[in-house]
Structure 1
Amino acid sequence: MSRPPMIVDGHCHLASSRCIPRDFFVGVGQNMARKKSARVRPGEAESLARLMELQYQDHDADRLVRKMDEACIARTVLLAPDFTYVFKSHYSLEDMAAQHAAVRARHPGRFHVFFGVDPRWGRSGHDIFERSVDTYGFEGLKVYPPCGFSPSDERMFPLYEICAARDLPVLLHTGPTTPTLDFRFADPYLIDAAAKQFPGVNFILAHGGVNFVEQAKLMCNYRPNVYLDISGFPAAMTATTWQQHLAELFAQGINHKIIFGTDWPVFSMKDDLSAMVSHLLEDGGPMHGLPDAVVADIMAGTIDKLLPNPPKAEGSAGAAAALSLEGESP
């Protein structure tokens, strides 16, 4: 099949341990160790957590940009979830906002940012999110319900009102995560009340093409303002292959609601960005037989339609943030 004219990664993270608390890695390490064996050797989970942390030292995104270039990814949406309410964090929300702004200033035109704020911070959190949009030009809200709240919790509504006023999309995590968090709030159906309350806000179900797929498909089919992404597809739990799983998803009649995403750097020890893209687009792959226009929308067009502004070089605020962090990366 012909390669789409542009590729935009709609779901990615800055591989920086400054943005992910250590307790998150420890939980993932525990789960990885338990998957390997019913009995976990002493220290194994900690060793796995340290190994993962080593993958999160790309604080200025130089490595990520090289990987994007290899994969012919023009731009990437960086998602910055707020774990500071539930985990001990050495870096504040303001620190993380400045770091993401610095990355955008360092790599003009390559990154969009969806910034997250836990609704339990109240008005102070609302103000931080609003400043991140007004000062740094961030283009969306990242919501992480497994931290312990429903995405339709009324405490979220002031944040959605900010998004509605500025035409910003909202991306929310669905499905499993580190076992140190709460899975009860990871069901796609939980966004329904908010999607109905805020019809002018576009909601993206992160991992919706991989986890809780039936629920995510129904939400996309019957709520005009709900979309899903396919991030996490290399790890899709399926009786066949992830390729067959996606081919079946692409046959459901909701391709105009589907967004390409990699969830980098989660799979950086398994698959490179270039490999993920190549396997999606190769002859005989899950997109084989789809019209070129449909492939182009999945790979870039749909997320671009949801973003509020075209990509541009960062202004003085982003440059100032970049200077404040200069020289900190190892």
Structure 2
Amino acid sequence: MAIDLDTITAIDVHVHAEVSCHDPEDPVMGQFFDAASAYFKAPRERPRLPEIVELYRAQQIAFCLFTVDAECGLGAKRLSNYEIADFAAQHADICIPFASIDPHKGKLGAREARDLIENHGVQGFKFHSIMQDISPNDRVAYPIYEVINHYRLPAIFHTGHSGMGTGMAGGGGLRLKYGQPILVDDVAVDFPDIRIILAHPSWPWVDESLSMALHKPNVYIDLSGWSPRYFPEQVIRYANTQLRGKMLFGSDFPLIHPRKWIAAAREAGFRDEVLPAIMKDNAARVLGLA
């Protein structure tokens, strides 16, 4: 059953699946989960896929679900893209499957991307360049981008500060420089049929992401990872004016609960006529649901 936009209240474009229904938690990722839970003041236990869909169904919120593949960059075993895709297929009325492939996998990663799209219904991709220890414009990733571009799918790129690694010695070995939004500008130029979503308000490079969304028709911004009460002023200003069609609701669940994000958004200064677009309409268009 496809998503019925009339029966849902919002679309959350940024939901993490972090533990498998079948396999134990990876110990390397476990260290990062410990630190992220402390940083976000979030519960340490990560929900499994059935718990996630139950929570979102109860709130009538559709959501994009993905893992982060950092097997090459971090040495952490990923949750299978195929497990997420197969689970999402069972809940297609509310769950939108995204995949994550470490860019270091190059042409082999491109083969996986094509298979996930053609045979498993994947509808988008997630990249976290900081965790993957690679610049988003590194040419080794281009075979993967070529597949995404061919199918005209969206791709979410983490930008700005990373809660993952915050507080760990040496930041857990993660390099924040790879979160600079302008590094994704090359991807937006070279692959104009990818609908690029810059994740998070991109602090401390907020203005770069705003500039890119103004300049490139295929660049959007999701507002996940921060409570709206802490958004920089210019994010609210552009959301209310020139970028009113470019901003998307994202929570960063399980680190931020969608209910808390929505409550804060209602008090953040978004205009009454703008908030419905942020919550659902813009994402429906970017995801090809409307």
Aligned to 2:17: 14
210 and 231 in structure 1: CA distance in 2 versus 1, 3 angstrom threshold: farther
8 Å Cα contact 1:229/1:258 also seen in 2: yes
Counterpart of 1:23, as a letter, is V
- Work out which of the residue numbers 270, 295, 301 in structure 1 matches 2:281: 301
* Pairs aligned (count): 272
Partner secondary structure for residue 261 of structure 1: coil
> Deviations along 1:279-308, whole A, 9 cap, x unmatched?
323xxx1255331xx322211122221224
Partner secondary structure for residue 98 of structure 2: strand
Does residue 1:261 correspond to 2:250, yes or no? yes
Aligned to 1:40: none
116 and 248 in structure 1: CA distance in 2 versus 1, 3 angstrom threshold: same
Aligned-residue RMSD, C-alpha = 3.0
- Work out which of the residue numbers 283, 286, 293 in structure 1 matches 2:268: 286
Partner secondary structure for residue 263 of structure 1: coil
Equivalent positions of 1:126-275 (< 5 A) are 126-146=110-130, 147-177=132-162, 178=165, 179-180=171-172, 181-208=174-201, 212-234=205-227, 241-242=229-230, 245=233, 247-267=236-256, 272-275=257-260
8 Å Cα contact 2:192/2:218 also seen in 1: yes
Partner secondary structure for residue 271 of structure 2: coil
CA distance in 2, matches of 1:82, 1:231: 19
249 and 265 in structure 1: CA distance in 2 versus 1, 3 angstrom threshold: farther
Runs of 4 or more off by more than 6 Å in structure 1? Answer: none
- How far apart are 1:278 and its partner, in Å? 2.8
CA distance in 1, matches of 2:25, 2:204: 22
8 Å Cα contact 1:210/1:230 also seen in 2: no
Does residue 1:23 correspond to 2:12, yes or no? no
Partner secondary structure for residue 13 of structure 2: strand
> Deviations along 1:36-58, whole A, 9 cap, x unmatched?
9xxxxxxxxxxx99x62x2x1x3
Partner secondary structure for residue 303 of structure 1: helix
Structure 1: which 5+ runs fail to align? 37-47, 311-330
288 and 200 in structure 1: CA distance in 2 versus 1, 3 angstrom threshold: closer
8 Å Cα contact 1:209/1:231 also seen in 2: no
- Work out which of the residue numbers 62, 66, 89 in structure 2 matches 1:105: 89
- Work out which of the residue numbers 123, 141, 158 in structure 1 matches 2:107: 123
Partner secondary structure for residue 146 of structure 2: helix
CA distance in 1, matches of 2:195, 2:55: 29
8 Å Cα contact 1:70/1:274 also seen in 2: no
CA distance in 2, matches of 1:127, 1:89: 21
CA distance in 2, matches of 1:193, 1:252: 26
Counterpart of 1:183, as a letter, is L
8 Å Cα contact 1:9/1:261 also seen in 2: yes
Could you tell me the TM-score, scaled by structure 2's length? 0.82
Partner secondary structure for residue 251 of structure 2: coil
8 Å Cα contact 2:107/2:144 also seen in 1: no
Task: Tell me which of the two structures has the higher relative contact order, counting C-alpha pairs closer than 8 angstroms and 6 or more residues apart.
Answer: 1
8 Å Cα contact 1:250/1:287 also seen in 2: no
Stretch of structure 1 that moved more, 63-72 or 141-150:
63-72
- How far apart are 1:72 and its partner, in Å? 3.2
Structure 2: which 5+ runs fail to align? 1-6, 166-170
Partner secondary structure for residue 189 of structure 1: helix
